[in-house]
């Protein structure tokens, strides 16, 4: 079994790591990792990848800025020769990034079975590039791995055949449960001179919140206001693209009241999440993590793709266009911590994915 994984964002490594290990244990002879972004996105490389038990990507496409359409097109052009040379049995498209859609198109046009990891997720905002990617990647992929029945229902209602859909659980839970003990042993808040539950944590990833100056300024200004009003430390985990846009839009002054942390590994990030008073984020894997850890979370609009984190978890959905971000954060800081583990968020999603993948290949050979 030869598998090619296409990852388009830093969080894609977190999602694919348990699948990579499970496929390796199931006998995958070769696994090729293609990362569409830049090598600096996952620096420091050694610690970030080693804790996830992943090798360095075999191919780094170096995609930077540009529109969603432009990045999809560039990814298509770059992926085609890689797939032609590798001739994998499976292509795994990860998440809702432009590279995932490009992977599904290349797989379909070259007759290679494509699996979409985290299929069936929907926000209902068809104007968002991520939502377009989700819809089209699901349509083009042969096998759709979902985290729960809600995503399965979305796909069935869109007319997708049930035999393509497999409810396997949440790979984010796989990674979190594996790294949680390591995260606790780091005791990162104490290293930073902070008490458990005393600080607010923020992480931004969604393109419109990172790239659009007005939205980025509003979010940073709200974090400043909360820090000044409460006297609490407010930690901003600032990834490379956010840093670039803060400088480009001349918003550096808004960082003064914040504690800026750059280039965290996932164990370090989870160590901060689990000890935070509350989390402000648009990153879906962090929203999932706060549900599992029971930490109150303010989810910025159009980023909630698993509604179960709102219904059963600690997630609070906020509309950045109309709701008061400062009031929302202030209201969640003192909220109770209530850990919750939805069905199949049990750490075995990747094992189920590997079994289904191997069965599919065996069936084709027969």
**Distances from the Cα of 119 to the Cα of 285, 296, 336, angstroms:** 14, 26, 31
Higher pLDDT, 234 or 264: 234
pLDDT score at 205: 87
| 10, pLDDT greater than 90 | no
Domain ranges of the chain: 2-169+348-365, 175-333
- Look at residue 366 and tell me whether its pLDDT is greater than 50: no
The pLDDT value given to residue 365: 45
pLDDT greater than 90 at residue 277 = yes
Q: What is the pLDDT of residues 308-338, one digit of tens each?
A: 888 887 889 888 877 889 999 998 898 888 8
Q: What does the alpha-carbon distance between residue 225 and residue 269 come to, in Å, rounded to a whole number?
A: 23
Strands 30-35 and 315-318 come out as unpaired
Same topology between domain 2-169+348-365 and domain 175-333: yes
Domain 175-333 homologous superfamily, CATH: Glycogen Phosphorylase B; (3.40.50.2000)
Q: What is the pLDDT of residue 361?
A: 58
Per-residue pLDDT tens digits for 83-139: 999 999 999 999 999 999 999 999 999 999 999 999 999 988 888 889 999 999 999
pLDDT band at 364 (very low <50, low <70, confident <90, very high): low
Give the pLDDT confidence of 190-229 residue by residue, as tens digits.
999 999 999 999 999 888 888 899 999 999 999 999 999 9
**Percentage of residues in the chain with pLDDT exceeding 70?**
96
| Closest to 276 measured CA to CA, from 333, 221, 220 | 333
pLDDT confidence bin for 300, thresholds 50/70/90 = confident
Q: How many other β-carbons are positioned within 10 Å of the β-carbon of residue 24?
A: 14
* Residue 347: per-residue pLDDT: 97
Q: How confident is the model at residue 40 (pLDDT cuts 50, 70, 90)?
A: confident
**Mean pLDDT across 173-186:** 95
Strands across the sheet containing 2-7: 59-60, 30-35, 2-7, 90-94, 113-117, 143-146, 165-167
What pLDDT does residue 45 have? 63
Mean pLDDT to the nearest integer, 174-180? 96
At 360 the pLDDT is 67
Q: Which CATH superfamily is domain 2-169+348-365 in?
A: Glycogen Phosphorylase B; (3.40.50.2000)
- The two beta strands, 234-237 and 143-146, are unpaired
pLDDT value of residue 31 = 97
Per the prediction, the chain carries an average pLDDT of: 92
Q: What is the pLDDT of residue 257?
A: 95
In this prediction, residue 125 carries a pLDDT of: 84
């Amino acid at each position: 079994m030869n598998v090619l994984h296409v990852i388009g964002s830093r969080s894609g490594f977190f999602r694919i790591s348990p699948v990579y290990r499970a496929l390796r244990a199931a006998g995958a002879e070769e696994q090729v990792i293609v990362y569409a972004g830049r090598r600096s996105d996952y620096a420091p490389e050694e610690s970030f990848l080693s804790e996830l038990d992943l090798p360095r990507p075999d191919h780094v496409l170096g995609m930077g800025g540009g529109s969603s359409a432009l990045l999809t097109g560039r990814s298509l052009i770059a992926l085609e020769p890689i797939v032609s040379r590798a001739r994998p049995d499976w292509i795994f498209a990860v998440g809702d990034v432009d590279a995932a859609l490009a992977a599904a198109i290349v797989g379909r046009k070259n007759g290679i079975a494509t699996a979409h990891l985290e299929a069936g997720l929907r926000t209902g905002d068809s104007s968002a590039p991520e939502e377009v990617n989700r819809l089209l990647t699901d349509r083009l992929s042969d096998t759709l791995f979902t985290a729960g029945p809600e995503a399965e229902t979305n796909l069935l209602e869109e007319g997708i055949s049930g035999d393509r859909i497999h409810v396997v659980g949440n790979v984010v839970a796989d990674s979190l449960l594996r790294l949680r003990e390591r995260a606790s042993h780091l005791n990162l808040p104490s290293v930073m001179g902070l008490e458990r539950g005393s600080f607010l944590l923020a992480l931004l990833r969604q393109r419109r919140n990172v790239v659009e100056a007005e939205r980025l300024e509003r979010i940073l200004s709200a974090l400043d206001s909360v820090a000044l009003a409460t006297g609490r430390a407010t930690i901003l985990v600032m990834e490379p693209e956010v840093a670039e846009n803060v400088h480009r839009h001349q918003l550096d002054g808004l960082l003064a009241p914040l504690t800026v942390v750059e280039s965290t590994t996932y164990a370090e990030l989870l160590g901060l999440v689990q000890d935070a008073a509350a989390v402000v984020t648009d990153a879906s894997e962090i929203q999932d993590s706060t549900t599992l850890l029971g930490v109150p979370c303010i989810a910025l609009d159009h980023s909630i793709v698993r509604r179960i984190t709102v219904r059963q978890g600690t997630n609070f959905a906020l509309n950045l266009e109309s709701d008061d971000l400062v009031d929302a954060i202030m209201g969640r800081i003192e909220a109770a911590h209530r850990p919750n583990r939805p069905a199949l968020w049990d750490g075995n999603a990747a094992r189920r994915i590997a079994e289904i993948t191997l069965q599919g290949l065996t069936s084709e050979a027969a």
